[in-house]
Chains A and B, each alone.
Chain A
Amino acid sequence: MGKKTTLTLLFLGLLILVNGQNVDSVSYTFRLNGLGTISQKISFLSPIKYTGVNTSYDWGRFRQINNKFLTKNLYFNFALTFNGNDQNTNIENPEERPIPLGIYSFNYGYLFNKRYSILHNHLPKKAPLISLGWSYWLDAGLDIKPFNVNNPFYYNLNNMAGLSLGLKKRVNIKKVQLDISNEFTLPLFGIYAATRYSSSLPYSTIVDDTSFWDAFQIGSFQTNFQFRNNLNLDFTIPGKKKNVKHTFRFQYGINYANLRVNNNQKIQATHIFKLGYLFNSSRYVHK
Chain B
Amino acid sequence: MFINKSILTTLILSVFITAGCVKEDLSETGGNVYENFDLLWNTINDNYCYLEYKNLNWDSIGNEYSSQLHEGMTDKDFFTVCSNMLNELKDGHVWIYSDFNTSSYGDWYLDYPQNFNSTIVEREYLGTDAIWVTGLKSQKIRNVGYLRCPSFMNLFSFSEIDEAVSQLGDIEGLIIDIRNNTGGSLIHAQLLASAFCKVKTKYGYLRFKEGKGDNYSDWFPQYLEPKSKTVFDGKIVVLTNRMCYSAANEFTNAIRSLDNVTIIGDKTGGGGGMPISSELYNGWQIGYSTNPMFDIEKNHTESGIEPDIYLNMDRDDEYNDIDNIIEYSIDYLKSD
Residues of chain A within 8 A (CB-CB) of B222 are 207
Closest Cβ of chain B to A265, distance in Å, is 11
* B123 interface contact, C-beta 8 A: no
Q: How far apart sit A83 and B22, CA to CA, in the bound complex (Å)?
A: 13
Residues of chain A within 8 A (CB-CB) of B28 are 49, 84-85
Instruction: Verify A198–B22 contact, CB threshold 8 A.
Output: no
* A70 interface contact, C-beta 8 A: no
* B208 interface contact, C-beta 8 A: yes
Q: How far apart sit A163 and B24, CA to CA, in the bound complex (Å)?
A: 29
Instruction: Verify B220–A269 contact, CB threshold 8 A.
Output: no
Instruction: Verify B25–A48 contact, CB threshold 8 A.
Output: yes
Within 8 Å by CB of B221, from A37, A122, A209, lies A209
For chain B, what secondary structure do more than half of its interface residues adopt (helix, strand, loop), or is it mixed? mixed
Instruction: Verify B210–A87 contact, CB threshold 8 A.
Output: no
Q: How far apart sit A30 and B221, CA to CA, in the bound complex (Å)?
A: 52
Q: How far apart sit A190 and B290, CA to CA, in the bound complex (Å)?
A: 30
* B279 interface contact, C-beta 8 A: yes
* B8 interface contact, C-beta 8 A: yes
Instruction: Verify A89–B283 contact, CB threshold 8 A.
Output: yes
* B319 interface contact, C-beta 8 A: no
Instruction: Verify B276–A47 contact, CB threshold 8 A.
Output: no
Known contacts A85-B283, A119-B1, A208-B223: does B278 contact A254 (CB below 8 Å)?
Answer: no
Closest Cβ of chain B to A166, distance in Å, is 11
Within 8 Å by CB of A147, from B15, B29, B284, B285, lies B285
Residues of chain B within 8 A (CB-CB) of A199 are 208, 291
* A219 interface contact, C-beta 8 A: no
* B5 interface contact, C-beta 8 A: yes
| 24-55 of chain A: CB within 8 A of chain B | 37, 39-41, 46-51
Interface string of A79-121 (1 = CB under 8 A from B): 0000111111111000001010000000000000000000100
Stretch of A11-19, A60-68, A148-156, A235-243 at the chain-chain interface = A148-156
Closest Cβ of chain A to B132, distance in Å, is 28
Closest Cβ of chain B to A155, distance in Å, is 15
Known contacts A197-B208, A198-B208, A262-B210: does B27 contact A229 (CB below 8 Å)?
Answer: no
Within 8 Å by CB of B220, from A90, A149, A150, A207, lies A207
Instruction: Verify B210–A198 contact, CB threshold 8 A.
Output: yes
Instruction: Verify A124–B2 contact, CB threshold 8 A.
Output: yes
* A263 interface contact, C-beta 8 A: yes
Q: How far apart sit A108 and B306, CA to CA, in the bound complex (Å)?
A: 50
Closest Cβ of chain B to A230, distance in Å, is 10
Q: Which of the listed residues A90, A97, A208 has the most CB atoms from chain B within 10 Å of its own CB?
A: A208
Residues of chain A within 8 A (CB-CB) of B98 are 87-88
* B281 interface contact, C-beta 8 A: yes
Residues of chain B within 8 A (CB-CB) of A207 are 206, 220-222
Instruction: Verify B99–A90 contact, CB threshold 8 A.
Output: yes
Instruction: Verify B3–A49 contact, CB threshold 8 A.
Output: no
| 187-231 of chain B: CB within 8 A of chain A | 206, 208-212, 215, 217, 220-223
Within 8 Å by CB of B27, from A84, A149, A198, A255, lies A84
Known contacts A97-B99, A151-B276: does B8 contact A127 (CB below 8 Å)?
Answer: yes
Residues of chain A within 8 A (CB-CB) of B275 are 149-150
- B15 nearest in chain A by CB position: A229
* B169 interface contact, C-beta 8 A: no
Instruction: Verify B209–A85 contact, CB threshold 8 A.
Output: no
* A126 interface contact, C-beta 8 A: yes
Instruction: Verify A148–B16 contact, CB threshold 8 A.
Output: no
Known contacts A88-B98, A119-B1, A269-B19: does B277 contact A48 (CB below 8 Å)?
Answer: no
Q: How far apart sit A207 and B274, CA to CA, in the bound complex (Å)?
A: 14
Closest Cβ of chain B to A43, distance in Å, is 9
* A285 interface contact, C-beta 8 A: no
15 A-B pairs (CB sep. < 8 Å): A41-B22, A41-B25, A47-B279, A48-B27, A49-B24, A87-B282, A88-B283, A119-B3, A126-B5, A150-B274, A182-B12, A198-B276, A207-B222, A229-B19, A256-B18
Chain A interface (Cβ < 8 Å from any Cβ of B): 37, 39-41, 46-51, 83-91, 97, 99, 119, 122-124, 126-128, 130, 145, 147-151, 167, 182, 184, 196-199, 203, 207-210, 227, 229, 231, 254-256, 262-263, 267-269, 271
